[in-house]
Structure 1
Amino acid sequence: MEKDIFILGIESSCDDTSAAVIKNGVILSNEVAGQKCHEAYGGVVPELASRAHQQNIIPVVDMALKNAGIKATELSAIAFTRGPGLLGSLLVGTSFAKGLSLSTNVPLIDVNHLQGHVLAHFIGEEGVDKKMPKFPFLCLLVSGGNSQIIRVDDYLSMEVIGQTIDDAAGEAFDKCAKVIGLPYPGGPLIDKYAALGNPDAFTFSKPRIQGYDYSFSGLKTSFLYFLRDQIKVDPDFIEKNRNDICASLQKTIIDILLIKLRKAAKETGINEVSIAGGVSANKGLRAALQDDAKKFGWNLFIPPFAFTTDNAAMIAITGHYKYLNQDFIGQDAMPYSRVTFDK
């Protein structure tokens, strides 16, 4: 009888401290501690984030192990996010993982945060007959820091075929939300107001970028100038038109994302399509993807909301597949804030 594989995942790349335990690819626990302290500043403050991680990581890991019904010494491996992310935050997770590894003699596995988002589609859930993508598939990875189209040929074989050359989609959502007076994080609020507005009320510029790459800096500039001109005419323009502004902005961002995804699917001939990352929780984007799936005959995969934002379950499942390859790392591993799929 084969021995069960228990993987502890630790995620601390930004402002959420998370720990999860996966047994043979099936989730047993997934604990997340958020940080409210950043709301007053309109964005994540790196120093505050790393301090909060230090406070949260021990109770979060302890809770994940207890809820999974397992002791740290019974783990097969400890997987941790090595990058990309905020360096101070990553250092907390990396240092804790190393210390736990030394004290329990359990091997370490480093995980690429972006790879984790993609592999979130393979997290098994007890009693759930889950449909999972077949290789090769395309993944639209959209978050506050990344907007990429990734070709996935195997669990640990991925290639970025398109990415933003400046800002990410999530960043565009949050920064435009700030301009119209919405609190951080603004992306979910734009999604909320967009559902009540007319997506064709206003028009914003769309970039013309070659290949599968993205750009959102021009959209932000167009949005800012549009509001400036309208407020000159009517100082209450934003208040009177908030729903339509949000709906039109959201439609523009979704159009930019999907134009390139459609192009990639057509030119690669791949009809297995998925989405991942924090922005994949956006209801407007999910609905637009479902429409495209029907139109173009895609097999579409959308992760549960719990696995869209930063979470340790995606780190643990990536650790599971790296464990099968016996792909471990030593105590000299250091986190890095920027990293590509070749690391």
Structure 2
Amino acid sequence: MKILAIESSCDETAAAVVEDGRTVLSNIVASQVEEHKLYGGVVPEIASRRHAEAIVGVVDEAVKAADCTLDDIDAIAVTYAPGLIGALLVGVNFAKGLSLATGKPLIPTHHLRSHIAANYISHKELKPPFLCLVVSGGHSHIVEVLSYTDMRVIGRTRDDAAGEAFDKAARAMGIPYPGGVELDKIAENGDDAAFPMPHPHVDGAEYDFSFSGLKTAVINLIHNKQQKGEEIPVADICASYRKAVVGCLTDNFLKAAEDLGYTTLVTAGGVSANSLLRRELERLCKGKYTLYMPEKSLCGDNGAMVGSQSYYEYLDGNIAESDLNAVATLPIDQRGF
């Protein structure tokens, strides 16, 4: 079964053709990073306009790169939640029109479920159940993946997501957007023991995260040095801060795995490309857990991951009608259509 999948939840216009949920025939991404870099972050109105400009060309290129035509496509999939509402609406309305014009089924797909499904592409042997750490700019969850479409959140951030915490700290140090990616690179050359950082815990919710206090601590450290006219050792601060954020993520994730008896662990989302997170999980899981991580090229937003998850949504009967709408906020274990 060939699915044409469309993703436009943030600042990448993406489309892909995926066969049977595991084989990527094409994967085209048009990024807006350079334009949003001018503003230090994603500007939702600009993102929506650029999606509208790019989506026809991106979808056309995805179909051609897969060496097929729309007649060869069996279904149309689209990210409908969560994300920037204007950006989502571009993809949803385009997919609805394409579905109507071609008579192909329309498969509404959750963005975070798609991030998890990126692992089905990278690791064709992977099957649920497993425990997944979903970490991105807007989300930090620990999720029980009970089946391809049945999921249960057991841990989540109470404030900032891990990616957001990286981005805000990077901005305070004058590191250009995308801050989290650049902070990770700079941290590779720093001393991660140079600055002790707090290790937040959430009382009564041992698997939940809280990054706002940690973010405030590093911003106060930077401001204190600026006020004293001291040089800011950017690499050392980046390394110390990254170690603290990653420590919070790995501690809660592995505790949940031990408590719930999972031996298969998975990561997903943009922050799963973080160098230290990948190294630490490989080290901590060695000999005890089977660890799966998506290829770095599939950690960010892309159409292939949507095409993978949508195949399983289709098998589960999750087909939308022409009244499908975009949803800005929707838990991973709920349906919004």
Does TM, normalized by the shorter one, top 0.5? yes
**Aligned match of 1:195:** 188
SS at match of 1:328: coil
Segments of structure 1 that go 5 or more residues without pairing to the other structure are 125-129
TM-score (norm 2): 0.95
* Percent identity over paired residues: 46
Alpha-carbon contact 1:144-1:168 (below 8 Å) kept:
yes
In the aligned structure 1, how far is the partner of 2:314 from the partner of 2:153?
A: 23
Write the letter of the residue equivalent to 2:275.
Answer: K
Q: What amino acid is the match of 2:168?
A: K
Instruction: Report the counterpart of residue 250 of structure 1 in structure 2.
Output: 242
Deviation at 1:252, TM superposition (A): 0.5
Quote how far apart the aligned CAs of 1:153 are: 1.1
Secondary structure (helix, strand or coil) at the match of 1:44 reads coil
Task: Name the residue aligned to 1:179.
Answer: 172
> What is the alpha-carbon distance in structure 2 between the residues aligned to residue 67 and residue 276 of structure 1?
26
Tell me, in whole angstroms, the C-alpha distance in 1 between the residues paired with 2:50 and 2:116.
27
Shift, 1:284, TM fit = 0.9
Which of 326, 329, 334 is 1:338 aligned to? Answer: 329
Say if 1:201 and 1:245, in contact at 8 Å, map to a contact too. yes
1:222: how far off? 0.8
Contact 1:73 1:106 in 2 (8 A): no
Report the secondary structure of 1:123's partner residue: helix
- Of 309, 316, 319, the match for 2:307: 316
Q: Is the 8 A contact 1:134 1:272 kept in 2?
A: no
> What is the aligned partner in structure 2 of residue 32 from structure 1?
29
- Counterpart of 2:316 (choices 300, 306, 325) is 325
1:73 counterpart letter in structure 2: D
Q: Give the counterpart of 1:156 among 149, 162, 167.
A: 149
Which contiguous aligned blocks of 4+ residues in structure 1 show a shift greater than 6 angstroms? none
- Alpha-carbon distance, 1:40 to partner: 1.0
Task: List gaps (5 residues or longer) in structure 2.
Answer: none
Given that 2:149 and 2:316 are in contact with CA atoms closer than 8 Å, whether structure 1 keeps it comes out as no
Aligned to 1:120: 118
Per the alignment, residue 10 of structure 1 pairs with 6
1:278-326 CA distances to partner (integer Å, 9 max, x unpaired)?
001111110011011116x110001011210011111111111122233
What is the SS of the residue equivalent to 1:43?
coil
Which residue among 193, 197, 210 is the counterpart of 1:204? Answer: 197
1:21-65 deviations in Å (ceiling 9; x for gaps) = 012231100000001211111110000000000011000000000
Partner of 1:237: 231
Contact 1:132 1:301 in 2 (8 A): no
1: CA distance, partners of 2:209 / 2:314: 34
Q: 1:127 is matched with which residue?
A: none
Question: Counterpart amino acid of 1:60?
Answer: V
RMSD of aligned residue pairs (Cα, Å): 1.2
Q: TM-score, normalised by structure 1?
A: 0.94
Please give the secondary structure, in 2, of the residue aligned with 1:94: helix
Q: Aligned match of 2:68 in 39, 63, 70?
A: 70
* d(CA) in 2 for partners of 1:204, 1:228: 15
Contact 1:109 1:327 in 2 (8 A): yes
Q: Report what 1:214 is aligned to.
A: 209
- Which letter does structure 1 place at the counterpart of 2:325? M
